């Protein structure tokens, strides 16, 4: 089991802006050591024949061609009629930036 000093735990806590008590520092020493043990165990695994993967699903990005389509005037008119406030073919909203 790797040994994690109290100073190292306190430094990590300081970087994470955590205020740990003495008992929490002792607890974190044990927990961080256990995590490092697990990482060392993973480092021992033989993965020489395994291809690197970024997604277990093997998903493929499906792209379509962009097409310019003129909107139907009736659809725009219906949309504007449902808006609480519109002017000049645009939906008016309250100002959000000053």
Looking at the structure of the chain, the number of domains it has is 1
65 assigned to some structural domain: no
Asked whether 67 and 73 are in contact (CB, 8 A), the reply is no
31 assigned to some structural domain: yes
Q: How far is CA 24 from CA 29, 35, 86, 96, in A?
A: 8, 16, 59, 46
75 assigned to some structural domain: no
CATH for 27: 1.10.20.60
Q: What is the pLDDT of residue 1?
A: 66
Q: Give the model confidence (pLDDT) of 7-56 as tens digits.
A: 999 999 999 999 999 999 999 999 999 999 999 999 999 989 988 887 77
In 1-98, alpha helices (H): 6-15, 22-43, 73-82
Q: In the predicted model, is pLDDT for residue 65 greater than 70?
A: yes
């Amino acid at each position: 089991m790797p040994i994690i000093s109290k100073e190292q735990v306190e430094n990590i806590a300081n970087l994470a802006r955590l205020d740990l008590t003495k008992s929490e520092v002792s607890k974190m020493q044990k927990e961080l050591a256990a995590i490092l043990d697990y990482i060392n165990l993973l480092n021992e695994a033989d993965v020489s024949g395994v291809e690197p993967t970024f997604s277990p699903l093997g998903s493929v990005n499906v792209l379509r061609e962009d097409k310019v389509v003129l909107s139907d005037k009736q659809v725009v008119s219906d949309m504007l009629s449902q808006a609480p406030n519109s002017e000049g073919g645009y939906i008016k909203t309250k100002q959000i930036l000053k």
